[in-house]
Chain A
Amino acid sequence: MKLYCLSGHPTLPCNVLKFKSTTIMLDCGLDMTSVLNFIPLPLVHSSRLSTLPSWIMKDGNTILEKGFKDCAGRVFIDSLPEFCLPEKELLDLSTVDVILISNYHCMMALPYITEHTGFTGTVYTTEPTLQIARLLMEELVHFIERVPKDQSAVYWKSKEMWRLLPSSLKDAVDVTTWKPCYNIQDVNAALSKVQLVGYSQKIELFGAVQITPLSSGYSLGSCNWIIQSHYEKVSCVSGSSLLTTHPQPMEQSSLKNSDVLILTGLTQIPTANPDGMLGEFCSNLAMTIRSGGNVLVPCYPSGVVYDLLECLYQFIDSASLNSTPFYFISPVANSSLEFSQIFAEWLCQSKQSKVYLPEPPFPHAELIQTNKLKHYSSVYGDFSNDFKQPCVVFTGHPSLRFGDVVHFMELWGKSSLNTIIFTEPDFSYVDALAPFQPLAMKCVYCPIDTRLNFIQVNKLLKELQPLHLVCPEQYTQPPPSQVHRSDLMLDVQMPLMAYKRCSVLTLPFRRSFERIEILPQLADSLMPIEMKPGVSVATISATLHSKDNKHVLQPPLKTMVPPLSKKRKRVIEESTELKAPKPLLSGTIPVELFLATLHKNGITEVKMEDTSEGHILHLQEEDTLIQLEDDSTHIICDNNESLRSTLRDLVLRFLQKL
Chain B
Amino acid sequence: METECIMLLPSVCAVLANPELPIPDDTCLEKLLDWFKVMTCKAPVESLMQQNTCLTELIATVIKQKDPEPCMLSFIFRLTGLLAASVDGFSFLEHLRLLGEVFGNRELMQKRTWEDATVRCGWIHGLLNAVQNLKAFQFILKNELIEVILPLQQDCSLFVSSAASQLLIQLLTLPAQQSMNAPVLRGDGHSSDMKDLLQSTSNENHEWTDVVKHIGMHVEETLLSGEPFHIEQSLKLMTLACKRCEPWILQILWEKVVGHIESLLETHPTTLTQPLVELLLSVSRTPIYQEADSTISTLLMHFLQTISPAQAGSLASGILNLKNCPQSLGMSAISVILHPLEFILYSASQQPQDPGLLETRFYEDMTIEEQLCRKTSCIALLGNSLSHIHELLEIITQPYYATHFRPEAILSSVLLVLQMCIGAAIPTTPAGSQICRHLIGSVKVQKFAVDALGSILHLKGIVVSDSVHHLLLEYLRNPDTDSLVLKKVMQATLKYVLCFSDLTAMWPIFDKDLFPVLKKRLCDIRWEVRDSTLELLTHLTLHLQDNEEFPPLLLNSGILQIAMSLLKDHEGYVRASTVSFLGQAIYIMNNKDDKLNSNTIQFTQEGIVSQLVDILSQDSESFPRRAALRVFTGWLQQCSRLPIENFEESLSVVFKVGCSDFDWEVRVHSLELAEVWIDQTLANTLVPSCPYAVTPSTDLKRKSLSELMLKLKTLQIFDILFVGLHDCDRPVAQKACAVLMSLQKIIFEKGDFPTNEVSTNGHEKAGSILKDCFLTQNSAAQTGLINLTGKTVDNIAEILAALDLKTIQNNLGHSSDYIQNSPRSLLQDILAVAETTVDNVIDCY
Contact = CB atoms under 8 A, between A and B. Distances in A.
A320 interface: yes
A315 interface: yes
A541 B479 CA distance: 72
B525 A320 contact: no
B600 to A, nearest CB: 14
A28 B570 CA distance: 47
Given A276-B480, A486-B433, A486-B436, A320 B569 contact: yes
Interface stretch (B151-159, B514-522, B782-790): B514-522
Q: Is chain A's interface secondary structure helix, strand, loop, or mixed overall?
A: helix
Task: Assign chain A's interface to a size class.
Answer: 20 to 34
Contacts, number: 68
A287 B479 contact: no
Nearest to B482: A276
Interface string B407-438: 00000000000000001011100000100110
A271 interface: yes
A278 B525 contact: yes
A192 B524 CA distance: 47
A290 interface: yes
B134 interface: no
Contacts of A273: 479-480
A496 interface: no
Contact of B520 (A287, A315, A485, A486): A287
Interface string B448-476: 00000000000000000000000000000
A279 B482 CA distance: 12
Given A276-B479, A287-B519, A319-B523, A484 B565 contact: no
Task: Assign chain B's interface to a size class.
Answer: 20 to 34
Interface string B521-555: 11111110000000000000000000000000000
Given A290-B562, A319-B523, A487 B570 contact: no
A484 B435 CA distance: 12
B636 to A, nearest CB: 30
Q: Is chain B's interface secondary structure helix, strand, loop, or mixed overall?
A: loop
Given A290-B562, A318-B570, A487-B440, A283 B426 contact: no
B570 A287 contact: no
A282 B527 CA distance: 13
Contacts of B479: 272-273, 276-277, 279-280, 446
B637 interface: no
A283 B527 CA distance: 11
A610 interface: no
B437 A282 contact: no
A482 interface: yes
Interface in A280-299: 280, 282-287, 290-291
B558 interface: yes
- Which of A279, A283, A446 has the most chain B CB atoms closer than 10 A to its own CB? A283
Given A291-B561, A486-B437, A487-B436, A283 B521 contact: yes
A484 B426 contact: yes
Nearest to A282: B525
Interface string A224-243: 00000000000000000000
Contacts of A318: 527, 569-571
A164 to B, nearest CB: 39
A514 interface: no
Given A273-B480, A287-B520, A446-B479, A315 B525 contact: yes
Interface in A288-320: 290-291, 315, 317-320
Contact of A284 (B426, B523, B526, B569): B523
A279 B528 CA distance: 13
Interface in A312-348: 315, 317-320
B523 A484 contact: no
A414 to B, nearest CB: 19
B293 to A, nearest CB: 52
A290 B565 contact: yes
B681 to A, nearest CB: 38
Contacts of A287: 519-520, 522-523, 562
B129 to A, nearest CB: 58
Contact of A320 (B425, B426, B519, B568): B568
A606 B523 CA distance: 97
Interface in A439-492: 446, 482, 484-487
Interface in A257-276: 271-273, 275-276
A271 B523 contact: no
Contacts of A272: 479
Interface string B548-590: 0000000000100110010011110000000000000000000
A80 to B, nearest CB: 37
A491 to B, nearest CB: 9
21 contacts: A271-B423, A272-B479, A275-B480, A276-B478, A278-B525, A282-B523, A284-B520, A287-B520, A290-B523, A290-B562, A291-B562, A315-B525, A317-B570, A318-B570, A319-B570, A320-B570, A484-B425, A484-B427, A484-B433, A486-B433, A487-B423
Given A278-B525, A287-B519, 13 more contacts: A275-B480, A277-B479, A280-B479, A285-B523, A287-B522, A287-B562, A291-B562, A317-B570, A318-B527, A320-B570, A485-B436, A486-B437, A487-B437
- Nearest first, the 4 closest Cβ-Cβ pairs linking A and B are A276-B479, A286-B523, A276-B480, A318-B570
Interface of A: 271-273, 275-280, 282-287, 290-291, 315, 317-320, 446, 482, 484-487
